[in-house]
A and B are shown apart, each in its own frame.
Chain A
Amino acid sequence: MRNQSVKNNIDWISVFIYIALVTLGWLNIYSSSLLSTDGTYQKQLIFICCTIPLIFVVLFVDGKFYEKYASIIFGVSLLSLAGLFLFGKTIAGQRCWYAIGSFTLQPSEFAKAATSLALAKYLSDTQINLKETNRQIQALAIMLLPVMLILPQPDPGSALIYSAFILVLYREGLPSWYVWTAFITIVLFMLTLILEPYVVIIIAFVVLAIIHFKGRAVDRNIILSAILLVLISGFVLSVDYVFDNVFKQHHRDRFNILLGKSVDMKGIGYNTNQSEIAIGSGGWIGKGFLEGTQTKGGFVPEQHTDYIFTTVGEEWGFAGSFVVILLFTGLLLRVIYLAERQKTKFSRVYGYCVAGILFIHFFVNIAMVIGIFPTIGVPLPFFSYGGSGLWGFTILLFIFLKMDANKVNEW
């Protein structure tokens, strides 16, 4: 069986993109932390070296192992999240880490892969039909269990990532109104913050009226349209209320920066303002490696972690930013392509989970850095500083590459 060699079957395109992203990531961490004395880039180099044995372990485990033990892996992962409440270490107000000496580990970074395995396992049962409400609830429960454990840490950024699974479920037959509801909810939420609530309600009324009268006469259901309008109005008014009365000031500030409402640029608006300056000053080809004045001046806080993309923007300019976005997009589309050609439902669903999770990270992180998304702590996969994150994403991706390399054996 000559095809069984992982070396011959692994998708080298994905591997090359992975190596490119990790390398670029380290170069930018090096640049942004050159002046710091904490040994940031040295540590990241060690983390990167550690991924090599990790990748080998992931690739040489038997291909059936992941499917067989998906539930156990998921269970262990949930336990590790729950254990944080007892043994976790609090850093900057968040209880998300296990500390072993000076070394810290963030279990939520690994939970993403575990949840993906569990969801894939659940959906791979041929009996499962997502048109059934019961099944929908069970699938959503798998997705929401880790969210329940992560939200109170509090780590809303990591929790947000799990919304990626909605897209996976849709691919596997979840009724489309879930996606539409999620989409419309987000649009209404943003509109309500920008416009007055009654304006949004009037817009909703006009849109509903147009849909109602443009639609085929048979489909017209005045009662349904009316209920929709009432639901939308209720939602808009409650968002307005929650924003003003339930949100804390720092939550409101994060949205207000984004919506361009006046915010103190030296206080809460500082991060976004400085990262926009750094990126904006890059121009076409940037200031050159290690030449970023914003980067050197240390003006962007958290630059080597969540704001690492600012270094790309400043030192490599539009060209560099474009290449990075292209690499990510290429990897995502490649993973989806690979997922679609899987022979088992298990590995297809898992592939979709990988693509969804990487996509949400990629989009939310860069969108936040360039000021089109609220400030939420989400790392840029393979780029941002941090061992747990890097290893979590590496495991996530390479489990899938292993499944893909193994597919020829699964007749």
Chain B
Amino acid sequence: MRKVLLPTIIIIAASLLVIRIFYLQIIDDSFKLKSENNAIKKVYDYPERGYIYDRYGKLLVANQASYDIMVIPREIKKDLNVGEFCALLNITVEDYNKRIAKATVYSPRLPSVFLSQLNKNEFAAFQEKIRKYEGFYFQKRSLRDYEVDYGANIFGFITQVNEKLIAKNPYYNSGDLIGKQGVEESYEEILRGIKGVKYIQKDKYNREIGAYKEGKYDTIAVAGEDINLTIDSELQKYGEELMINKRGGIVAIEPKSGEILALVTAPSYDPGILVGRQRSKNYTLLYHDSIAKPLYDRGLLAEYPPGSPFKILTGLIALQEGVINEQTTFMCYHGFSYGGGRFMKCHGFGPHQLHNGIYNSCNTYFGQAYMLTINKYNNPGKAVDVWSDHVKSFGLGQFMGYDLPTGKRGNIPTSKTYKRIYPNGGWRSSTIVSNAIGQGEVLMTPIQLANMMATVANQGYYYTPHIIKKIESEKIDPKFTTKHVTTIDQKYFPPVISGLFDVYNKGTAYALRVEGIDICGKTGTAENYAKINGKREKLKDHSIFVAFAPKDNPKIAIAVMIENGGFGATVAGPIASLMIEKYLRKKITRTDLEVRVLNKSLAAEYAKLGGMTDALKIESVPKDSVLQAKIVKPKVPAAAAAAKTEVKKTAVDTTKKN
């Protein structure tokens, strides 16, 4: 029946259309909502972001008003005086045309940002005349106002939310601001508050005709809460000044509470440069500097073999396992031989017990003690696991759970590590003896080193390091007030501490003593390599120093790591001593050390790694530093031409002094 085919198809097709339309219009009601989204305008009321104070209540971060100029392209009048308009906003006519074109592409009838983040002065002139310019209006926003020029890594910054997050978190809309990095990120929800929403009904001409359903669904904005950080702002500022022309990190912790007193990374930048119209340009420069990495928080992220400071743990564990006591003596012949004719070098000579073993930093002593610890068990795998558990009870080899958004685990090897490296077995204490002196497979970050020192200062316990001191109306996370006790008995700590004390009195840090303050410390160096022109080259060691003070009733524990700084006592040690004095006395008596540190520049060393990039061209020089005058321009070898940006920074330093 050839006649019926077409009519049949027509009827089937029409039924299909009707069914689908029935489904869209009657069954699936999700479209009604979506259409209301289009026809009902939501207006958000953004609360002011909470302020950030330091531990003593000094205001660090506040807010400033800023203005976005918005545009609805199709509402612009044709007789707009573009020249006058551009002059008011200080933009060129080409720029104007470009921005209007961009807004029109987005939508001719929906508002988009024409010019963002104008400050009060830039906006004032324009505000009086804005009524004249139909199609343009402004939106007030609150931006960060940094009261200080340091602490960028601690604060983080504010940025627009990205599409990915908008899709994931329904709170945020396109164009909203969100904290990134630092406490702005970790305390985002507390600082930001909750935005209010007003629903406004639009008529068929897209005009606003009042509140939707008499404001039944409107919500009121909840203001952001202020927070106090545990940071001592003076100490933080001082730490950043000491780090000028160096790369590395400083972490200072109050042992009794786990509060982070200072968290310094270098190079850093003035947090103020990431606010306002220059923001994105500056951020791009910082972001693309892959060598100096100003956005990389070395205090939290830099993982290195810790070197000698790790001997403290080697000693404590050997005592706890009962394989040595305070009197146990090992002979050092500028080192010692162990399994298969291998030899561990040491700078010392003669008999060593625990006490002088620590202050002389004797490799022989701790190598032997470590081998005894491992050999105590018949099975090296089990022994390593016992040792590993002891080490981990100091919070190492794991994310510590502090309240900053970045971190690294570090690494503390276990039997599994060695099963992977030596799948056929055959490894024993002598194979892994480098762990004794903080090399081999051991990796730690500066904050882990600082926490280790805090634990030693406390003689066997620590609180999870944290940066939050107080939240306006909330208690801080109880995990920061929970004591973590190590697996080492308290009685084994005093002999080790007394050894650390003599590091300052007789040992490697003798020159760094501060009159009247009993400091316990330990130097360290970390070997490091870099690929330079395709060749693996050994670079100057990273300089490491850990300390706490005063010896009795410790108030501060500190770890300092300086990239390519050389021996621990040369750069890191003086910085640690100065920081401790600054914190305990609020002034400096070792001014000789201070001048030496401030003038020390490692620019020539870093130049070997390749060119400094544009990021450091941003002038991020301390504005109100009393120390500026003490900085002397370092001599940079001609070979280090690549380091010219670093030099430029210093040049600015010196001009400021005049």
- Known contacts A171-B5, A333-B10, A356-B6: does B24 contact A290 (CB below 8 Å)? no
Judge whether A170 and B10 touch: CB under 8 Å.
no
Judge whether A171 and B6 touch: CB under 8 Å.
yes
Judge whether A318 and B21 touch: CB under 8 Å.
yes
Among A179, A317, A321, the one with the most B-chain Cβ atoms within 10 Å of its Cβ is A321
Judge whether A367 and B17 touch: CB under 8 Å.
yes
| CB-nearest residue of chain A to B204 | A296
Instruction: Determine if A322 is an interface residue (Cβ-Cβ < 8 Å).
Output: yes
Residues of A15-47 at the interface with B, using a CB-CB cut-off of 8 Å, are 35
Judge whether A280 and B32 touch: CB under 8 Å.
yes
Interface size on B, residues (CB 8 A): 34
Judge whether B35 and A322 touch: CB under 8 Å.
no
Residues of A49-105 at the interface with B, using a CB-CB cut-off of 8 Å, are none
Instruction: Determine if B171 is an interface residue (Cβ-Cβ < 8 Å).
Output: no
Residues of B30-64 at the interface with A, using a CB-CB cut-off of 8 Å, are 30-32, 34-36, 38-39
User: What is the minimal beta-carbon distance from A380 to any residue of chain B, in angstroms?
Assistant: 12
Selecting from A211-219, A324-332, A398-406, the interface stretch reads: A324-332
Instruction: A333 to B3: give the CA distance in the assembly, Å.
Output: 12
> Which residues of the other chain, B, contact A302 by a CB distance below 8 angstroms?
none
Instruction: A370 to B24: give the CA distance in the assembly, Å.
Output: 8
Instruction: A332 to B12: give the CA distance in the assembly, Å.
Output: 13
> Which residues of the other chain, B, contact A298 by a CB distance below 8 angstroms?
109
Residues of A148-177 at the interface with B, using a CB-CB cut-off of 8 Å, are 167, 170-171, 173
> Which residues of the other chain, B, contact A277 by a CB distance below 8 angstroms?
31, 34-35, 38
User: What is the minimal beta-carbon distance from B75 to any residue of chain A, in angstroms?
Assistant: 12
> Which residues of the other chain, B, contact A326 by a CB distance below 8 angstroms?
14
> Which residues of the other chain, A, contact B481 by a CB distance below 8 angstroms?
none
Instruction: A291 to B204: give the CA distance in the assembly, Å.
Output: 6
A324-354, CB under 8 A of B: which get 1 and which 0?
Answer: 0110110011001000100000000000100
Judge whether A280 and B2 touch: CB under 8 Å.
no
Instruction: A173 to B16: give the CA distance in the assembly, Å.
Output: 28
Among A279, A313, A352, A359, point to the contact of B13 (Cβ < 8 A). Answer: A359
| CB-nearest residue of chain B to A358 | B10
Selecting from A1-9, A118-126, A132-140, A281-289, the interface stretch reads: A281-289
Judge whether A283 and B32 touch: CB under 8 Å.
yes
Judge whether A299 and B17 touch: CB under 8 Å.
no
> Which residues of the other chain, B, contact A292 by a CB distance below 8 angstroms?
204
Among A35, A173, A352, point to the contact of B205 (Cβ < 8 A). Answer: A35
- Known contacts A279-B21, A290-B204: does B31 contact A352 (CB below 8 Å)? no
Instruction: Determine if A48 is an interface residue (Cβ-Cβ < 8 Å).
Output: no
| CB-nearest residue of chain B to A173 | B2
Instruction: A356 to B13: give the CA distance in the assembly, Å.
Output: 13
Among A280, A298, A313, A340, the one with the most B-chain Cβ atoms within 10 Å of its Cβ is A280
User: What is the minimal beta-carbon distance from B77 to any residue of chain A, in angstroms?
Assistant: 14
- Known contacts A35-B205, A363-B13: does B3 contact A322 (CB below 8 Å)? no
Instruction: A402 to B59: give the CA distance in the assembly, Å.
Output: 89
Residues of B17-32 at the interface with A, using a CB-CB cut-off of 8 Å, are 17-18, 20-22, 24-26, 28-32
> Which residues of the other chain, A, contact B38 by a CB distance below 8 angstroms?
277, 293-294, 297, 299
User: What is the minimal beta-carbon distance from B627 to any residue of chain A, in angstroms?
Assistant: 52
Among A314, A317, A333, point to the contact of B7 (Cβ < 8 A). Answer: A333
Residues of A289-313 at the interface with B, using a CB-CB cut-off of 8 Å, are 290-294, 296-299, 313
User: What is the minimal beta-carbon distance from B306 to any residue of chain A, in angstroms?
Assistant: 48
Instruction: Determine if A276 is an interface residue (Cβ-Cβ < 8 Å).
Output: yes
Instruction: Determine if A372 is an interface residue (Cβ-Cβ < 8 Å).
Output: yes
Judge whether A318 and B35 touch: CB under 8 Å.
no
User: What is the minimal beta-carbon distance from B24 to any residue of chain A, in angstroms?
Assistant: 4
Instruction: Determine if A278 is an interface residue (Cβ-Cβ < 8 Å).
Output: yes
Instruction: Determine if A378 is an interface residue (Cβ-Cβ < 8 Å).
Output: no
Among B3, B18, B21, the one with the most A-chain Cβ atoms within 10 Å of its Cβ is B21
> Which residues of the other chain, A, contact B26 by a CB distance below 8 angstroms?
283-284, 318
Q: List 12 A-B contacts (CB under 8 A).
A: A170-B2, A173-B2, A280-B28, A280-B32, A280-B35, A281-B36, A291-B204, A297-B202, A318-B26, A322-B18, A333-B11, A372-B16
